[in-house]
Every structure is written in structure tokens, then in C-alpha cells.
Amino acid sequence: MKKKEPPKTEMPFLDHLEELRWRIIKCLAALILFTCAAFPATTKLLAFLTYPNASLAEPARLVFLKPTAMIMIRMEISIAAGFIVSLPLIFFQLWSFIAPGLLLKERKAVLPVLFLTVLCFALGALFAYFVIIPVMLPFLFSMGTEFIEATINISDYMSFVLRLILACG
């Protein structure tokens, strides 16, 4: 027996905009909340993100060159963590906004696609963290000479690591 489509009710354009506005506000509120909640954990997250360097036989010395550099790094890390943790709610809000306009067949296809997308992103990010970064760092640091030692600005290191993880994800 074929499932029936739920009855469609049309919304005026301004009602769609109002619903979208509230969904965006909920997403931003979740992002702010989770970002603030992640800030106390930035020390552990920083240790996790700098571990590939620390685990090298000859790790580069990580330094910061501006008085505000470490607070900015911690804020960037907490924003990234807050975004990652709030993604399920953001996806739910997006789905709740889009789903009423989809056919039943289209709605059934979304869950497997979403699952595979998240899985592929996570596998790519893990591949970058556990394979690419540990291979690239020694290679990049080997470009120095006996007179030029690797002392890396923490801002540049974090930018490199986070961009590589996101790009591979």
C-alpha cells in the first residue's frame, strides 16, 4: 500500500521569511551557547591540536608573537568547537524548514545522504589529523638548515592545522 503524502498547506511569502528568521535565530543562539561552553575546554583542545607537533622527534617550538594572540587562538578554537557541536541542531533547523516542501520520496532520501556526508567529513578530518599532518610537519620542518630552526607562530600553526582538517573533511 502506497503511503499518502501529508496535506500541503501553502504559506504566504512573509510567513516563510518569519519562520526562516526564527530558525536562524535558534541556530545562532545554539552556536553562541556552545561556543561559550567550549571556551573552558580550549586548553585540552589546544593540546589535542598541537599534539601532532609535540609527538615529532624534533618538534617545532610554538610561540606567540602578539599579546592578544593566545586569547584569539582560544576564541577561534571555541568557535570551531561550538560550531561542530551545534551542527546537529543547525541541520535539524534546516531540515524542519525544508521538509514541508519535499515529497515523501525526497524526504526518505535525505537521511542516508546526510549520514554519508557526515561520515565522509569525519573520515576526511580524521585522515588529515592522523595521517597528513604527521607526514607534512616533519617534511616542512626538514626544509630548515642547521642555522635555521623551526620556531612557529602558534597562530600560523593553528591556521594550518584547522584549514587542513576542514579541507580534508
Burial class of 121 by CB neighbour count within 10 A (0 to 12, 13 to 18, 19+): middle
Q: What is the tens place of the pLDDT at every residue in 136-167?
A: 988 888 887 777 777 888 899 999 998 998 89
Q: What is the tens place of the pLDDT at every residue in 42-79?
A: 999 999 999 998 998 888 888 888 899 899 999 999 99
pTM of the model: 0.78
Q: What is the tens place of the pLDDT at every residue in 99-124?
A: 888 888 888 888 888 888 889 989 99
Fill in the DSSP letter of residue 131: I
The 10 Å CB-count burial string (b at 16+, else e) for 34-65 is: bbeebbeebeebbeebbebbeeeeebbebeee
